[in-house]
Amino acid sequence: MNRKVEIQDLGLMDYKDCWDYQEALFKGIVDIKIRNRREDANLDTPNYFLFVEHPHVYTLGKSGDKSNLLLNEAQLKAKNAAYYKINRGGDITYHGPGQIVGYPILDLENFFTDIHKYLRLLEEMIILTLGEYGLKAERSPGETGVWLDVGTPFARKICAMGVRASRWVTMHGFALNVNADLGYFDNIIPCGIRGKAVTSLNVELNKEKVDMNEVKLKLNQHFATLFEAEMHIKTPIL
């Protein structure tokens, strides 16, 4: 059982390039697990936690409804935004500069075999991190992700989540709005949920900009505690 997690900060990276990279890491873990079972081997499976920012892109989960994207191809091009239908759960979301996107690629058999628990712990990591900035973040019943002012007319989402898991190996993850351009969310029905707003940490704190690296370090600390993981930074968070 290997609870070491390698942190990689990929900086600004094209969505498709990062998706391909995730798939390669994911496949590497799955291949080890298949080999272990086939050859009765005892090889440790690695775990990764990728941080990245993407250029403007909209992604639609495997069960999502494309009508929740309110732009056609010409309008996407005009906004310098890409679009991909991908293999995670959930509906449509936006990624862009000023957003911390986290992709934990874990062998959950190193931790626990419970996808529900995995999602709840990712949400708790976000909730605890935002709490350090004086925000009361919460879960919204029946809606994956992290919200503010749940149950009020002012409910707004600050972090979206969507994951894929196979053979207890995870990929995709969360997108936390830190200094995000919220205007890009006007071009979708976020996560397929009508009538609820989206927000960003800098807006909530009334700041022009929040230190992204400080937020990443807080996320790392809470992840390590919640997952009882040993974090190792491969690419320094500067």
User: Does position 196 have pLDDT exceeding 80, yes or no?
Assistant: no
User: Does position 190 have pLDDT exceeding 70, yes or no?
Assistant: no
What tens digit of pLDDT does each residue of 145-162 get?
999 999 999 999 999 999
Q: Determine which of 70-74, 100-104, 106-110 has the lowest per-residue pLDDT on average.
A: 70-74
* H/E element, 203: helix 201-204
The band of 42, judged by pLDDT with boundaries at 50, 70 and 90, is confident
β-pair partners for 9: 51
Look up 191 and say whether it is catalytic.
yes
Domains and CATH numbers, the chain: 4-229 (3.30.930.10)
DSSP state of 205: T
Which of these is catalytic: 150, 191, 212, 219?
191
φ, ψ of residue 84 to 5 degrees: the values are -140, 140
Q: List the 92-95 sheet strands across, edge first.
A: 82-85, 57-60, 92-95
Q: Determine which of 55-69, 171-185, 201-215 has the lowest per-residue pLDDT on average.
A: 55-69
Neighbour-count burial of 133, counting CB atoms closer than 10 A to its CB (0-12 exposed, 13-18 middle, 19+ buried): middle
What CA–CA distances, in Å, run from 168 to 32, 33, 144, 175, 222? 13, 10, 19, 21, 22
**Region 81-91: what's the mean pLDDT?**
87
**Region 94-100: what's the mean pLDDT?**
96
Amino acid found at 159: C
Predicted TM-score (pTM) of this structure: 0.93
Residue percentage of the chain with pLDDT more than 70: 96
